[in-house]
């Protein structure tokens, strides 16, 4: 077959399309996110976020959050971790300044015992997950997820 510009363009389109389909149909990687406090277990002295894995591959990632508290509302937000020690904080409201932290999404305001999930397309890098109910981030509801090839 004679190679023409049209053929090359067509081949490139097919390759892109195939890559797109493969990407769309690849199952999302699941990260279990447990939201816990002293009502979950009296031995837990500070509220916390526990992930069942802390490294995933780039691509679609589903955060499956479960609020294991008996009485406290929790939530989980995710943002890229830019290497700062602390996220930008609004001390007056006792919350992370979500917009300045560039939140990528959240499973918001989960009542005790409830579950929720969020699927995102994540590029390689380090991410921070935190609860932004007032006071919870400072109490320790923050953890990290690494996306690496």
Between 61 and 95, name the residue whose CB sits nearer to Cu ion: 95
Residues 106-135 contacting Cu ion, CB under 5 A: 131, 133
Which residue in the shown chain puts its C-beta closest to Cu ion? 131
The distance of closest approach from Cβ of residue 53 to Cu ion in the complex, given in angstroms and rounded to an integer, is 21
CB 108 within 8 A of CB 17: no
Q: How far is the CB of 90 from Cu ion (least distance, A)?
A: 16
CB of 137 to Cu ion, least distance (A): 8
Q: Does 141 bind Cu ion (CB under 5 A)?
A: yes
Phi then psi for residue 51, to 5 deg, are: -95, 150
Which helix (H) or strand (E) element contains residue 7? helix 5-25
Compute the distance between CA of residue 70 and CA of residue 91 in angstroms, rounded to an integer.
27
How far, in Å, CA of 85 to CA of 110, rounded? 27
Binding site residues, Cu ion, CB under 5 A: 74, 131, 133, 136, 141
């Amino acid at each position: 077959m004679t190679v023409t510009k049209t053929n090359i363009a067509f081949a490139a389109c097919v390759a892109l399309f195939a890559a797109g389909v493969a990407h769309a149909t690849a199952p999302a990687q699941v990260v279990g996110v447990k939201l816990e406090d002293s009502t979950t277990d009296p031995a837990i002295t500070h509220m916390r976020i526990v992930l069942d894995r802390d490294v995933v591959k780039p691509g679609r990632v589903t955060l499956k959050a479960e609020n294991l508290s008996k009485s406290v509302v929790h939530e989980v937000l995710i943002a890229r971790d830019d290497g700062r020690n602390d996220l930008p904080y609004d001390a007056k409201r006792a919350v992370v300044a979500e917009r300045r932290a560039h939140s990528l999404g959240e499973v918001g305001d989960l009542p005790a015992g409830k579950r929720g999930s969020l699927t995102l397309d994540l590029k390689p890098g380090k991410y921070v997950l935190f609860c932004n109910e007032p006071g919870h981030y400072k109490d320790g509801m923050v953890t990290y997820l690494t996306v690496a090839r």
